Copies of this chain bind each other. A is one copy, B any other.
Amino acid sequence: MSKKQLIMESALELFAKQGFEATSVQQITEHSGISKGAFYLSFKSKDELIMALIDHFMEQFVSDIDHIVKDSNNRGEELLRKFFYTTFHSFQKHSDFAKIFIKEQAHTFNEELISKGRHFDQLIDDITLSMLDQLYGETVQHTKYDLIYCIKGFMHVYSHLFLFFNVPLDLDLLCRSLAEKTELLAKHSTIPFITDELYEMFRKTGHEEMTHGQLIEVMEQKIEELEDSIEKESLILLKQDVQERSLNPAIVKGLITNIRNNPHCRWIAYLLLHFYEI
């Protein structure tokens, strides 16, 4: 395990227990069994550490729910159920992180952190919107933004139960319950509150797209990290294609499916799907 990962795991635990501000760098280094200096070799600052944590987990989460929504085997109410399931399952699996994210997103006054939070929030909105379009199409044109907010509200309030009470819960039942509620609202609610203009206004802050160059940079970095494997080979081929656009779309699709096998590549798979507009 790299030193960076070691620090991230230690910090995750401490932040979840005590909060970001209340955890000192000293505590993190003691918990990791390294020196203070070593910490600053891996991270330029304490802020950079929490940014890295948020990126790490949110990238995974976003690519996971995107994959569910894009998978054409999931249709109708089942898609809805799987969407909720993936969300809560992820919260459950990474509960330490989820606690930090909920707490620090609400609390922080660091500009960069806020905009990072908002960025991922918007990605999730986009995915949710695409799901609603798939499920209900024209029917929800007027009310789709309100639906997004209701779904967010459901996720927020029920995820609290998972995170702050240590009780074994019936995830399947919860997802069926929420899918039913969402269906009810989608099919029968008639009074929209959030209009297109309002929605645009709320997300006005710049949703900076990733550039072509940045994409290649991220891919190169990941290629370095990977051991020799099908995934690495696929990624190298994809990198060439992003630069030259010479491969058959079917091949590209297959290569992306290959790299998604590796959990550490899911985010890149998500970025590539967007790049190729699949």
Contact = CB atoms under 8 A, between A and B. Distances in A.
Contacts of A103: 106-107
Nearest to A192: B177
A177 B193 contact: yes
Contacts of A193: 158, 170, 173-174, 177-178
A21, A156, A193, most chain B CB atoms within 10 A: A193
Given A177-B146, A180-B189, A190-B180, A201 B165 contact: yes
Interface stretch (A45-53, A65-73, A147-155, A240-248): A147-155
The A contact surface, by secondary structure, is helix
A189 B198 contact: no
A19 B107 contact: yes
When all copies of this chain in the complex are counted, the total is 2
Interface residues of A, number: 42
A213 to B, nearest CB: 33
A153 B161 contact: no
Interface string A138-168: 0000000010011011101110010001010
A44 interface: no
A202 B21 CA distance: 28
A3 interface: no
B177 A188 contact: no
Contacts of A202: 161, 165
Interface string A186-216: 0011111110001001100000000000000
A250 interface: no
A161 B158 CA distance: 20
Contacts of A174: 193
A184 B18 CA distance: 40
A181 interface: yes
A102, A165, A174, A177, most chain B CB atoms within 10 A: A177
B157 A173 contact: no
9 contacts: A18-B109, A19-B107, A153-B153, A170-B193, A174-B193, A177-B191, A177-B193, A184-B188, A184-B189
Pairs of residues from A and B, 6 with the lowest C-beta to C-beta distance, nearest first? A153-B153, A153-B157, A177-B193, A107-B107, A177-B191, A106-B106
Given A106-B106, A165-B202, 8 more contacts: A21-B22, A153-B158, A173-B191, A176-B191, A177-B192, A180-B189, A181-B185, A188-B188
Interface of A: 18-19, 21-22, 102-104, 106-107, 109, 146, 149-150, 152-154, 156-158, 161, 165, 167, 170, 173-174, 176-178, 180-181, 184-185, 188-194, 198, 201-202
